[in-house]
Copies of this chain bind each other. A is one copy, B any other.
Amino acid sequence: MKVLVLGSGQLAQMMYLAAAPLGVEVKAVDVTDNSIVNPIDKQLYDHDLAIAIDDADAITVEFEHIPEPLLDLVHQSGKLYPNIQAILTGADRVREKQLLDAKGVANCQHIVIREHAQIAEVIPTLGERVIFKSSRDGYDGYGQWRMSSASDLEELEVIFAGLDLAKLPLIAEKMVAFDREISVIGARDKNGHVRLFDIAENLHYQGQLHVSIAPATDVSELIKQKAEDIFTSIAEGLEYVGVLAVELFQTGEELLVNEIAPRVHNSGHWTQDGAETCQFEQHIRAVLDFPLGSTTTYSVTAMVNIIGCTSFSRDLIAIEGCNLHWYGKTLRDKRKMGHINVVADSYQALASKLDTLMACLPSEYFPMLPGEIKRLKAIV
């Protein structure tokens, strides 16, 4: 069978690798020119988009910011999973907030700013600590502005004055003092069955995910249940088919949705080595209407992103339980070049393997790792 993926980056690549053993061929659409490429070596196929759409048994996306004409075209084929509304919701913070509010899913207090006059409401309503997010193209920390005190607003207003808020509204969101960021990732199939992976906890640095630990430490049954309920509300609300990621802020036993991603997600990469079925295979299964796979966790896993860096010791692949996933991309500042999944039997064993790993890595590119190793070591 054949799956066509809109987008030809590392997520399409990992779908390709996970799908091949099932006898499923994954081709990718380079959305810059709608050419059809092999997601691994980017070799061009000799057929065009129309034929690729026709050939595919299912069509999906590796990111939500797909050019709308392409998304519309693919939607018309009747083969798009998740559906176009789900993708548009993931791509647009205004739609996303509307969905969450409609479903009664807790999220950060916010105002949708559609005209400049509304900026004056922000501090009275949300206080001085606010994060402004562009409604679209907010991928990976771009298009976000932080206000830490009222004095920042003047400078921000200069930036916002240049934005067409009627066309591209801003979300002003009250910054919450959360304990940690976690994510719940799972799949919903065409019959509405839902299967969740264990919750991961995520460490960000300068707006990018650096480390995920799964299963997250100290997850109470209540949090587990709340996360599952949130996931299910959203997935059902969107009539979702495929893998969906929900990022959450946890404070005590409370959860707020930070954002949703209508696709496989960086914080689910740990499943490649730590869970029985990886998120990429699970997504392929869901969109092709195959039975979903078991999401049992095999090992405690750390996923460590390699960002903007290629200079590490290849000896890391000699560390027991250490698995490199390299994307083969050209080096750019802040670019995700690959990730390393480290699996172990316990958090302590994981910490000790991460210690060994750290010795193979240039520490300036892995600022979150030392603190995390220390934290994991302290877990009894």
Taking the closest CB of chain B, its distance from the CB of A198, in whole angstroms, is 15
A residues 323-346 in Cβ contact with B at 8 Å: 323-328, 338
Shortest CB distance A242–B (Å): 17
Q: Report A11 CB to chain B, min CB distance, Å.
A: 14
Question: Complex: how many Å from CA A285 to CA B276?
Answer: 24
Choice from B21, B290, B314 contacting A291 with Cβ under 8 Å: B314
Known A17-B17, A326-B23: A276·B317 in contact at CB below 8 Å = no
A274-286 CB mask vs B (1 if < 8 Å, else 0) is 0010000000010
Most chain B CB atoms below 10 A, which of A41, A285, A338: A41
Residue numbers in B under 8 Å from A323 (CB-CB) = 21
Contacts A38-B41, A325-B21, A326-B23 given; does A318 touch B296 at CB 8 Å: no
Near B by CB (< 8 A), chain A positions 252-295 give 276, 285, 290-294
The residue in chain B whose Cβ has the minimal distance to the Cβ of A294 is B320
In the complex, chain B residues whose CB is within 8 Å of the CB of A320: 276, 294, 296
A: contact size bracket: 20 to 34
Task: Verify A314–B328 contact, CB threshold 8 A.
Answer: no
Give the distance in Å from the alpha carbon of A328 to the alpha carbon of B24 in the complex: 8
Q: Does A33 touch B at the CB level, under 8 Å?
A: no
Contacts of A13 on B, CB cut-off 8 Å?
Answer: 20
Q: Which residues of B sit under 8 angstroms from A292, Cβ to Cβ?
A: 318
Nearest-neighbour CB distance to chain B for A308, whole angstroms, equals: 16
- Known A38-B43, A43-B45; judge A21-B293 contact (CB<8 A): no
**CB of A186 closer than 8 Å to a CB of B:** no
Q: Is the CB of A43 within 8 A of B40?
A: no
Q: What 0/1 readout, one digit per residue, does chain A (234-245) give for beta carbons within 8 Å of chain B?
A: 000000000000
Most B CB within 10 A of own CB, among A13, A20, A41, A43: A20
Chain B residues within an 8 Å CB radius of A38: 38, 41, 43
In the complex, A317→B289 CA distance in Å? Answer: 12
**13 new A-B contacts at CB < 8 Å, known A23-B338, A25-B328, A285-B317:** A17-B20, A21-B323, A21-B325, A21-B326, A22-B317, A25-B41, A43-B45, A276-B321, A291-B315, A292-B318, A294-B320, A294-B321, A296-B320
Residues in A lying within 8 Å of B, measured CB to CB: 13, 17, 20-23, 25, 38, 40-41, 43, 45, 276, 285, 290-294, 296, 298, 314-315, 317-318, 320-321, 323-328, 338
